[in-house]
Structure 1
Amino acid sequence: MSATDGLDAADGTASVDDGGAENAEGAPNQDGVEALIRLLCDHENGAPVLQERLKQCHNSCKDVVGFLRKRALLEEDYGRQLAKMVKEFGGKESPKIYGREGSWTAGWTAFGAIHATVAQHHLELATALTELAEDVNTLSKDTERNRKQLRDDVRYQWKQVEDAVGVLEKSKQKYEASTHDWERTSQSSRIAQQAQGHGHSYGGHGTASAWDMAEISPMSLQKLQKNESGARSRATLANEAYRQQLFVTNGKRRDYYELHLPRLIRLLVDSIQKADDGLLRHLQGYVALYERCLMNEAMSTAPPSGQKTQPGMADVLGRVDLDGDLDAYVAVHLAEGRRVAKGDIALSPSPGPSFIDVDGTGAGLVAAAAIGSGAPGAFDATAVPMGNGNASRQYAGLDLITIADRDGEPVPVIVAALIQAIEAQGLAREGIYRVSGNSAHTARLLRRIDLHGTPPQPALRDEDRAVLTSALKQFFRELPDGLFPRASYRPLMQAMRNDDPQRRLMAVHEIINGLPDAHYGTIQVLFRHLAKVAAQEATNRMSADNLGLIWGPSLLMCSELSPDPAELGHASELVAMVIRHHAAIF
């Protein structure tokens, strides 16, 4: 059978074995591996073929290492650049904020915090890919080291066979030369004996001439016989040496083909399988890391409705109330100035004649009389409305403790009045507190309360319910120290990180009980009201979690310029937990 036929047969066998290379459990078929090893042992290029394949495995590992390292550099660069961009544009300390406050600043900061989280995910992926690349590089080095060791072992074992064959060839040559010499000396001795037995005869069957036969003496015949005996001895020794070396050579060949070659072939196959399995396993690890990064990025930007640990981008943007920000900004800055008198400027009395008939028709006289008599349209600075003088009911810019000391009440009157009006209109409306009221109407209501005091309940109940809920949220959002004081922010966040729900509730209960009376009383009134809202979740669709997402940013004020993005979720969880357990806390 030719070498080409043998390779074709090998291809055919390999194709059959590949079909049954794995059993029902997915493990490698040992029968198929053994058949492959026997097939390779029957071919003279079996070991070189596997060595070349192992080298290809090593090169594949090197390619994967290069890919993973380049991928890690790209992910690291992307993560660092994104984090740098967030720091420049999205942080509270960023100069791009331009001192802007309100819901826009909170939303923009949260928007940047989400991007910072995404950047962190990519930096973590870069670190994991770098470690994975090192693992594949270790696999590549081990594969190359195994290849070289097995190559040297194959060469050594085959050289033992080649050396034995070389020694055998020399023994054979020596044996053939000794045999030829023995035949030559034996023939010469035989001819000499025949010649001496027949005398100096001519002709006959001898090949020596009469002259040669005449020179053979008894001494020469004895010497020829001695040479023949020596040649025969040397041929016998050479024959024995040749037979012995033939036995040794065949033994080495049998050891090589029956012991060493199958062992080396099996080691080569094992090294190839180990390299292939390891490479595939590491690539599957890469897929898992990449999928996790994409999943974390998706969860950070748009978490599912049932798994919202922190708001997504759409939620953050949905909380931005630009109209409310504008009204609040205008109200704050206009409070620093005075109202403008828009009436006509009155004519001041002059020392000259008061009545002048300019055109001789008397029109000038009538106009002057109208001005002097206080007719409609005359300017009067004292007529500009400046409020009712009840400045003690101002709320803007005052904290809860100051308001309580001024009013003598633990709960601000505006809070109690707004909650009473909202509950009087009913809490079953879908989306209560999620639907914002008209920002202009909300700002107008808060300004009216600041200027004239809290309106009576009938007047408040005539307001739109969304305007009342927006006014209540804006009141707490604009408190200088928040409903939960800044000093309590860090202890509350630490308590919310407790994994034990019971311990977490007890820690929050202790912190709330330690707050000043003004804060404690207002928290108690507000959260009892929110608990009533959550109790009607079936109709208003406002669960404790939904209320937590809406009220969390308005009630807790961080004591730091740049809060941890994860703490936004803790703030919402805190509000939801207090709503659920308000009876136990208060």
Structure 2
Amino acid sequence: MEETAKKPTSTAVSARSSHNGGGEDLAHLFNAPEIKKVLNSDVAINALLSRLKQSLLTCEEFMKFIRKKYVFEEEHVQELSKQYKHFFNVDGSTYSSLKKMIHEVLGFDGKMAQVKQSYITALQKMYSEISSLLLTMTKLRKSVKENSKRLEKDVSDAIHSAEKAQSRYNSLCQDWDKLRMTDPTKTRLTLRGSKTTKEQEEELLRKIDNADLEYKQKVDHSNSLRNTFITKERPRIVQELKDLILEVDTAMTIQLQKYTIWTENLILNTGVTISPLDSTKSMKSFAGSVSNERDLYGFLNKYNQTGKHSLLINKNLIPVSYKKHPSMNHGQKNKSPPKFAVDPSRNSIPKRMISTHNESPFLSSSNNAAAVPGANSNSATPSLNTNKQLPPTMGSSISSTNTAAGAMSPSSSIVTSDTTSSITKTLDPGNNSPQIPEELINSLDSDRPISHIQTNNNMPPGVQKNFKTFGVPLESLIEFEQDMVPAIVRQCIYVIDKFGLDQEGIYRKSANVLDVSKLKEEIDKDPANISMIVPSKPHSDSDIYLVGSLLKTFFASLPDSVLPKALSSEIKVCLQIEDPTTRKNFMHGLIYNLPDAQYWTLRALVFHLKRVLAHEAQNRMNLRALCIIWGPTIAPANPDDANDVNFQIMAMEVLLEVSDQAFEPE
């Protein structure tokens, strides 16, 4: 390659010319007058050296890319050809066609690795060729550059010497002119004695003759060197540099074409490997050969094989047959049925599916007892008005001492079902619970909800009448009431939704502390006194403020906030998230993991506060005001700074923002 670069033949030049421009001969471009003018000028050598350097830099950069490419591809092939073998190994006991097909599909990775290996070999060869080209052309450029600089320096030095000789010659001539202007009789004292003017003229003429001869010789020598450099050496150097540039660029063009050809071959061979033209199965056909139904059938059918029938029966689940002991056959005693029975339809708590927002939180939409299987159809109780119907609850009964104040007269009596009706053999206590006559129900205030809170007349064993409501964990309160949301929360929300949504300053204005404390004590004495929360007609604004203060007092008295203190660190992480969508999704996750008691209670409160916000124009309670009031009550304190109220306010804001996403809609 070095010899070709030093002495480029006409064939090579014509090949380069035909290669550039798609077969068109472009050699005539260098014969253009404007190009000849540049090539014949003094700047030609430096310009071509600079252009050759650019070509070498391009060659070097492409060489580095090829090296990185083949190193990367080589590592990829090595890992690909090894790693796929470690996954989805199939043995004879494998029933899953999915696993077998995955193994077959991953086998194509090994085939593609083999295809890519030839591509890597080609890249390595290209790297070696480009590296040799770069090394050779760099040496040639350095040699041409040193030769041209040496010739230019010789011409420059000769011209500089001629200039010095010219200066010396001119100086002596000026001295001759001065000497001719002096007095001829005047003598001059020198180191060799005194000299007359004539003697001085003779000596000066000899020096002028010698200087003139030297000056002429150096001028002739410099002109000769310059003419030789311009007419012979510079055209030769220019032609050599031009050929080197074209040779480097042509070689790089060929390497670029080889790169594209090898890349095309890689893609085509990979495609043929994945989807062959012959009858060999393609990757797609393997993926389509999966039969999930047959896989499951084969897996289940293996339990029918000989020796595996015992696996079909779990000995721990074999029922025990009831057999009365012989000694007890004649000693059987009649036992009274249990006095307390649980209605499963009332006491089962579904997971995140029940809405608590009804016209009144204590009214059911239908009678649960009617759906209990086994109930006697002949023991139907008197029908009540649909808006006044009292649905049967677990052991609930109403007496004159436990009804709302003023709702019944002291002389009112409860009418029970006909004693002559047949005995109902069912566990639903609603069929045998006392009923309120229609006349008595019609006399009740239509705006006052009927409470389902149990009284001491018919409570589960072990439950006392003075079961506290305030300061009790939500779980205990829910377990006692057998409902999703505490009765006091539902009752307070119902009253404020009905009478206080348009009342200015609801939750901001507080009621009399003594009134709140007195009502709290009454409810703690007897849960049935929750019915006292409903204001009498006509009601005043202070009655509604009292209900709002009571609701805040209930949540403030909880042993742990509705958002537990254990979540304070995670809430802090949530508030530090800048992206609103990510922050809401994080809070959604925290809410979803809450226990049922906290989840449903928080849901009822949050949707209630959103209804308050919907009436902001009337009640003057915006989002910030509600968060300032409810944040310190609902959210735990900052784990790093207990006095940081803004932490709880911000948590409440995020909670209200994510409510529609995190909670079941009402």
Q: Please give the TM-score of this superposition, normalised by the length of structure 2.
A: 0.39
- Larger RCO of the pair (alpha carbons < 8 Å, separation 6+): 1
Q: Please give the TM-score of this superposition, normalised by the length of structure 1.
A: 0.44
